[in-house]
Each structure stands twice: as structure tokens, then as C-alpha cells.
Amino acid sequence: MIDLTTLTIAIARKKLDAKEFSAVDLASIYLGEIKKKNKELNVYLEIYDDVLEQAKIADEKIARGESTPLLGIPLAIKDVILIQGRKVSAASKILENYLASYNATVIDKLAKQGAVFLGRTNTDEFAMGGSTENSAYGVTKNPHDPGRVAGGSSGGSVAAVTANLALGALGSDTGGSVRLPASFCGIVGVKPTYGRVSRHGLIAMGSSLDCIGPIAKTVTDAEIIFNAVKGHDILDSTSIVDTTYSKVTIKKVIGVPWDLINGEGVDSKVQENFTQSVKKLEILGFKVKDISFKNLDIALAIYYIIMPAEASTNLSRFDGMRYGLHKDGKNLLEDYLKTRGIGFGKEVRRRILLGTYALSAGYYDAYYGKAQMIRNMLKKEFALAFKNVDLIITPTVPSVAWKIGEKSNPLSAYLADIFTITANIVGVPAISLPSGNVLIEGKKLPLGIQFMAPHGREDFLFEIGKKFEAL
């Protein structure tokens, strides 16, 4: 019997290589679990019909002794990452039944290792949101409390790993979409340094912010996936070379922006839990220091200018002519209006309007230009802060997972991103780790802590992450 609840990628690797079970056995068990739970949780939008064939090929490689860290490991892939010949919809009606014409670089890398792709997972439409409530295909439920959201936008991938419907997963993170659901579900989510993992084959949202990130049950597993997908890629012009690390020495000091954490809108349970985590870090021998940033409180405002501006530009390619849905009007303009009006959901249309406005003549300097200026200032402030601290920590999200339908006002959902967006604005790597639970209405709901590290220093995150999770 394979116990999925305690199984990790690292353990599965050993057992697969020792022939304690086969990749086909493992994949079959996951398929069985998916069959049992997917209807209720709405994690997968599609389960691939060749999972067992993929696993069989992995078994042949294992038999030949060609082991790699992810050979035969069943993974879930967010529905914004292209796998050649398979459907990819960004959870949108405009791309319903669209077939990817090439592989994302991350998929090529995982396939080369012999990972087994189970299926594509639910997300907010075009990754716009923090709950999957903006998916055109229904909300993904939180495995800890099905009355609540799993978080988003990578909610399907995170819920899959949490509910043992995959051993690991890939998500994408433009403003927190890997870390926020990881916090809501009590698992590990990593947003790498901008450019560290190729964006080639990721359906673009905000191109200067988008990152593909690993989702797993443990830090070691997240590191295994990260190592498999990272690396320079000539197909992504913003990809960085592996050796461009910040030259920083370990100081054993952690910075905490207490102003922001003790500020308005942060749940007192989150603040309490965070204070406990800080104490644990002190036990680990870290000096914890109060730090403040002049521009941190407006990071959220500039994110909601830059991201829609870039998204509105990126989404202009969905015009009904080149990809997916096409609706006929009386003329070309009507074709566009009809296709985009029907194909895009409410939140996507809201952001296209917002972004187009921020980029329009007469407003560009006042909005987009100013937001970019503050972004640069914040980047400098972070670079300066990392001269004195190894890591900057915050809670991952200012609340526990919300109830489905609770945040019908979009602004209240945007506020949930207050701690996560900065890492994307600045481009630094960040991780969300489980930091305990709170009991609410009889349900144990997870909370998360976020660590941010200097540019290129994912190794700091993995090192401290392993120590923190062992406490």
C-alpha cells in the first residue's frame, strides 16, 4: 500500500528506484484519488488520457537505471502552461478547446526528466485573481474546508497537491498566485527570481512580473522541481544566466517590515501567528530587525497599474482571428467586439479597461510612468535593505482562506495581495511556508509565512525553509 498522505517526491524517488512500487502503480493510485475527489474540489479541468502510458515509459527508464529526480513523479500543471498538442485554456471561454502548438520550456525540461503529467489545473481566468472564483469553469474548493476558496490563481495546482491528487505541481505567480494559495492550503509555494525560470510557453499576464513556480508539500520537493525547471533560455529574452547571483554574505539577520504587518486590514490571528514564527526564527539563531520602506505601502497601488497595463497589451492578441473563439459580426470591428465581449469574463474585461486607460495618451505619464518610477525606487530600497539583512519576512496573506463568494467586491480581493506583490514588483525570489493553523468555525485553517531573498538567492529560501519546517 502506498500512503499518499506521507509521500513526498524525495521519498517516492527512493521507492521507485528501489522498485518498491512502479510509476504505473503510483500513477494509478493518483488517478483513483482524482476520480474520487475531483468532482467535489474542481481541481483539474482535464485529466490526461495517457497518464498510464507516460508512467509505463518512466518505468522502462527506471528499469534501465536512468533515474532522474522527477522520473515517474506525477505532477499537475496549471492551465496557463503550454503542452504541445494538449488543450490549454487559461480557464477562459476565449481559449476553450484551444490546442497548444508547442511545449513551454519548463515542460520540455520536466518531460526530459520523465515526469508524468496528470492533467491541467484550474486557475482564475488568465491568472487574474486570488481565489479561482474568476475561472470560467467554476471555483476550486479548499481541501481543508470546501466552503472556502483554495486561493488563486494557481488554486487548482495547490489544491491538487494538498488533497493528494498530485505529488507536485507548477503554478504561475504574477503577484502572489503560487504563494497565496499555498498559504491558504498549508503547503509550500515558490516564486523564483524574475527571469530564473523561462516564461517561454506561459500564457502571458503581466510580462515584467510573471514567474513560473513550484508547488509541493515540502521545501525539499519544491527545490527538486525548481532545479528541474530553472535555467537560462534563449527563447525568453528576459531570462537570466544562472551565475548572476547577488554577491551577498550571510549575516544571520532577518528584516521585518512591522509597519505594514501591524497596519490596517491584517487579521489579528495572522499577526499573532506571525509573531510566533518570528520567535521561532530567533530560536534558530537569527537576529530579527525592524525595517521600513518608504514606498512599500503603495506597492499594491502600482501593481494594479502595471499588471493591468501589461495584461491589456498581452491580451490584445485574443481577437478572434488568431486563437480560440471566433464570433461573427457584420464587420471586422464587430467580430472583435463580439468575440472579446463573449470570450472574456468580467474580471479580465475590468483589467483590460483599467490597463488600456492607464496606457492611453494623456494618462500614460500620470499612471503608468509614475508607477514605473516608484517601482524603480522600491527596487533600490530593497537592494539597500539586503545589504543589512539576509531575508525579509511577512505573513503571506493578511487573512485565512475566505468563504466562497465572500469577496464580491474586487477591491477587497486585491487587498489580499498586499504582502505578495512586492517580490514581483522588485523581481526577487520568495517562498510561502506553512506556519500553523487557526480554528475557525470548527475547521483548522492554515496560515503561511513568506520569506523574500536577494536577487538569485533561492538557495537562502530553501536553506531557511528546511530549518523552519523542521521546527
Q: Which residues contact ligand GLN (rule: CB under 6 A)? A: 127-130, 153, 173-177, 205, 307, 417
Q: Which of 156, 169, 232, 222 is nearest to 197 (CA)?
A: 232
Q: Taking the complex as a whole, how short is the minimal distance between the CB of residue 315 and ligand GLN, in angstroms? A: 13
Q: Which H or E run includes 444?
A: strand 443-452
How would DSSP label each residue in 102-125? S--HHHHHHHHHT-EEEEEE--SG
Q: Taking the complex as a whole, how short is the minimal distance between the CB of residue 205 and ligand GLN, in angstroms? A: 6
Q: Grid cell 519548463 — which residue?
A: 106
Q: Which of 122, 189, 193 is nearest to 156 (CA)?
A: 122
Q: Return the number of the residue (132 or 239) whose C-beta is nearest ligand GLN.
A: 132
Q: Which H or E run includes 33?
A: helix 23-41
Q: Is 28 a catalytic residue?
A: no
Q: Residue 242 in contact with residue 229, Cβ under 8 Å?
A: no
Q: Which H or E run includes 148?
A: strand 145-149
Q: Taking the complex as a whole, how short is the minimal distance between the CB of residue 351 and ligand GLN, in angstroms? A: 8
Distance of CA 88 to the CA centre of its chain: 17
CA distance 462 to 10: 15
Active-site option among 157, 177, 432, 435? 177
The Cα-based distances of 207 to 113, 204, 237, 238, 464 in angstroms read 27, 6, 11, 9, 29
CA distance 367 to 450: 29
Q: Which of 397, 429, 423 is nearest to 190 (CA)?
A: 429
Q: Taking the complex as a whole, how short is the minimal distance between the CB of residue 12 and ligand GLN, in angstroms? A: 29
Q: Return the number of the residue (98 or 303) whose C-beta is nearest ligand GLN.
A: 303
CA distance 213 to 221: 12
Q: Is 177 a catalytic residue?
A: yes
Q: Enumerate residues 6+ apart whose C-beta is below 8 A from 235.
A: 105, 198, 200
Q: Return the number of the residue (115 or 203) whose C-beta is nearest ligand GLN.
A: 203
All three cell numbers of 454, joined, read: 536577494
Distance of CA 310 to the CA centre of its chain: 18
Q: Taking the complex as a whole, how short is the minimal distance between the CB of residue 175 and ligand GLN, in angstroms? A: 3
Q: Return the number of the residue (175 or 257) whose C-beta is nearest ligand GLN.
A: 175
Q: Return the number of the residue (103 or 153) whose C-beta is nearest ligand GLN.
A: 153
Instruction: Find the radius of gyration of the CA atoms of the chain.
Output: 21
Q: Return the number of the residue (414 or 468) whose C-beta is nearest ligand GLN.
A: 414
Residue nearest to ligand GLN according to CB distances in the complex: 177
DSSP letter at 129 equals S
CA distance 295 to 92: 35
Q: Grid cell 492533467 — which residue?
A: 119
Q: Return the number of the residue (223 or 417) whose C-beta is nearest ligand GLN.
A: 417
Q: Taking the complex as a whole, how short is the minimal distance between the CB of residue 123 and ligand GLN, in angstroms? A: 8
Q: Taking the complex as a whole, how short is the minimal distance between the CB of residue 176 and ligand GLN, in angstroms? A: 5
CA distance 230 to 57: 24
Active-site option among 135, 153, 157, 312? 153
Q: Is 246 a catalytic residue?
A: no
Query: Three-state SS for 368?
Result: helix
Q: Grid cell 493510485 — which residue?
A: 29
Q: Taking the complex as a whole, how short is the minimal distance between the CB of residue 414 and ligand GLN, in angstroms? A: 7
Q: Residue 356 in contact with residue 375, Cβ under 8 Å?
A: no
Q: Return the number of the residue (307 or 449) whose C-beta is nearest ligand GLN.
A: 307
Q: Return the number of the residue (129 or 454) whose C-beta is nearest ligand GLN.
A: 129
Catalytic residue list: 78, 153, 177
